[in-house]
Amino acid sequence: MDASHLLVWFEEGQLRACELADVPDALVYKGQVFRAETGYFGDVDYLRDQQKRLLGFAYYSTGKWEEVIRERLLSQSKNVKLDGGILVILLEPRPYEFESVAAMGTEVYRSPTDEIILAIPNWDFGELAFKLTTTNTPTSTPLNAGVPPKR
């Protein structure tokens, strides 16, 4: 995958993902505007299967803001869980191994109803063990109309 980020969101409890070339200030999905949060969610490591394909992500995050986001993510899908205090997001649920990447730069987008979309940086995703979604994906707002700039 050559895109700079992977966009990850939830659709009826299922995780979906698509490529994201540029990280916007806001996204639109199913009529809702998701605005970028200003806090730092934490470093991310990659989860790989035995063939070294990307299955998902692991976040080591602490602090009150991160706890709020973590709890919301846990409530959105059964493929998000805690593994020894580490938030695990599995796009392909199967046994995994941690790959230490400590990638920085995940953007967290939140809707007025507290739904979450993540833009996860590509620090060498390599081969994916899951299929990317190509239809009904979140889109950036047209010229970020009506969206205040990030702080």
DSSP labels for 65-81?
A: HHHHHHHHHHHH-TTEE
Cα gap 15→31, rounded to integer Å? 19
Percentage, residues of the chain above pLDDT 70:
90
| 147: CB partners within 8 A, 6+ apart | 25, 26, 33, 35, 141
- Over residues 84-139, the pLDDT tens digits come to 889 999 999 999 999 999 888 899 999 999 999 999 999 999 999 999 999 999 99
List the structure tokens of 78: 């059964």
- Classify the C-alpha dihedral 7-8-9-11 as positive or negative: positive
pTM: 0.88
Pairing of strands 54-60, 43-48: antiparallel
Residues 59-79 have a mean pLDDT of 83
Whether residue 9 has pLDDT greater than 90:
yes
- Over residues 12-41, the pLDDT tens digits come to 989 999 999 989 999 999 999 999 988 788
